[in-house]
């Protein structure tokens, strides 16, 4: 099983959402040892902004 783990909060040390997601991830890994986590931290590697002309409208 694969899990895309997105984190967004720029408050790396004091973020409640980061603590909650880490706890949930630990529970999932203990229940599903084959779990493959793919982390993506958008506060460290933000997605590029697309111009409005790139949208298919």
Res. 2: pLDDT tops 90: yes
Q: Model-level pTM?
A: 0.68
**CB under 8 A, 24+ apart: contacts of 39-45:** 39/5, 39/7, 40/4, 40/5, 40/6, 40/7, 41/7, 41/8, 42/6, 42/7, 42/8, 43/7, 43/8, 43/9, 43/10, 43/12
- Give the pLDDT confidence score for residue 27 in this predicted structure: 97
- Give the pLDDT confidence score for residue 22 in this predicted structure: 92
Taking only the tens place, the pLDDT of each residue in 3-57 is 999 988 888 788 899 999 999 999 999 999 999 999 999 888 877 888 888 888 7
- Give the pLDDT confidence score for residue 48 in this predicted structure: 80
- Give the pLDDT confidence score for residue 3 in this predicted structure: 96
Are 49 and 35 spatial neighbours (Cβ–Cβ below 8 Å)? no
């Amino acid at each position: 099983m694969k899990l895309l783990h997105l984190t967004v909060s720029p408050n790396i040390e004091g973020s409640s959402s980061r603590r909650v997601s880490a706890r949930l991830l630990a529970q999932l890994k203990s229940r599903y040892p084959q779990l493959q986590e793919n982390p993506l931290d958008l506060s460290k590697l933000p997605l590029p902004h697309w111009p409005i002309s790139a949208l298919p409208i």
